[in-house]
Amino acid sequence: MNQYRELLKNKKRIVVKIGSSSLQHPQTGELDYMKMERLVRQLCDLRNQGKDVVLVTSGAIAAGKKAVHLESLKTNGADNLALKQACSAIGQARLMMTYQKLFAEYNQVAAQILMTKNTIVDNLNRYNAHNTFSELLRLGVIPVVNENDTVATYEIEIGDNDTLSAIVAALVNADLLILLSDIDGLYTDDPRKNPDAQFIEQVDRLTEAHMGMGKASTGSGVGTGGMNTKMIAAKIATSSNLDMIIANSKDIGVIHQIVEGENIGTLFLANPDPSFDLPLFVQQLHKT
Ligand code: GLU
């Protein structure tokens, strides 16, 4: 076993991100309860091992659209902002209700935290959010995080949960971030378009070349994250001294395999950068 993979066994504070496309049945767009149940079971077992766990979950807008039969509606344009926000208000409550039930089945307490860019950029907000997370984790609670899409308009939105999960991981001083996606990890090019694309098992030091490889999209059509946002997450995570893994969520059991040190997905090694300024970085998101 690779020495770096071996070290993943010792991780104490783990943030797991799951995307909308991983939580839905592709044919119907309805929530995949079997998958959610397996996800929650894995997270509860990590808690039972004495690890701190945070879940960053998408799926609010998708679940809300489904609830009011607007599945085919595009919610990207500014015209539909209010509708998108309404869908997220409907869907976030539904999503959370499902999570609460599942976590309760395994005797764990879950809490909801909804954030915007301001939660990080504003010093007092960030201080308060940090304290809330710390207290929840001290109490053994599993925070379930999403962007506050009901109020997050362009000026204050982070925009995707890959970036959000890395921000959360940095804020709570996690030591591992696991991004579950519909792709196996980082490739030298988009494997769906280029058959010669090579899989990358480990990134020791993130370079501009890696950031460039991230321009390929996951192409799932739901959620907002592509490989590009995953590279931004990798930049935040590794600069903030935490390891990050991108792995395929088609088998949710990967969470356990990763924490057992198995060679799954792409591992980005922590590479602390003392000059990395999280609030400044977040403030500048979307501005470049
Ligand atoms: N926050 C959005 C939602 O819950 C999803 C963002 C994303 O997919 O990255 O629907």
Q: Looking at residue 59, which CATH number applies to its domain?
A: 3.40.1160.10
Q: What confidence tier does 223 reach under pLDDT thresholds 50, 70, 90?
A: very low
Does the pTM of the predicted model rise above 0.85? yes
User: For 37-67, what is each residue's pLDDT tens digit?
Assistant: 999 999 999 999 999 999 999 999 999 999 9
Mean pLDDT rounded to a whole number for the chain? 91
Q: Do residues 103 and 40 touch, judged by C-beta distance below 8 A? A: yes
**How many domains are contained in the chain?**
1
pLDDT at 139 over 60: yes
**Which numbered atom of ligand 1 lies nearest the CA of 223?**
8
Q: Could you read off the pLDDT of 76-132 as tens digits, one per residue?
A: 555 688 888 999 999 999 999 999 999 999 999 999 999 999 999 999 999 999 999
Distance 10 CA to ligand 1 centre (A): 30
17-21, 69-73, 169-173, 239-243, range with the lowest pLDDT = 69-73
Helix (H) or strand (E) holding 256: helix 254-259
85 lines ligand 1 (CB under 6 A): no
How far apart, in whole angstroms, are the C-alpha atoms of residue 235 and residue 240?
Answer: 8
Q: Ligand 1: which atom is nearest the Cα of residue 61?
A: 10
What is the best residue among 31, 56, 61 to mutate for testing ligand 1's pocket, by most ligand atoms within 8 Å of CB?
61
Q: How far is the CA of 253 from the centre of ligand 1 (A)?
A: 22
Q: Chain centroid to CA 194: how far? A: 26
pLDDT confidence of 221, banded at 50, 70, 90?
very low
pLDDT in tens, 232-262: 999 999 999 999 999 999 999 999 999 999 9
Range(s) of the domain holding residue 15: 3-287
Does residue 59 have its Cβ closer than 6 Å to ligand 1?
yes
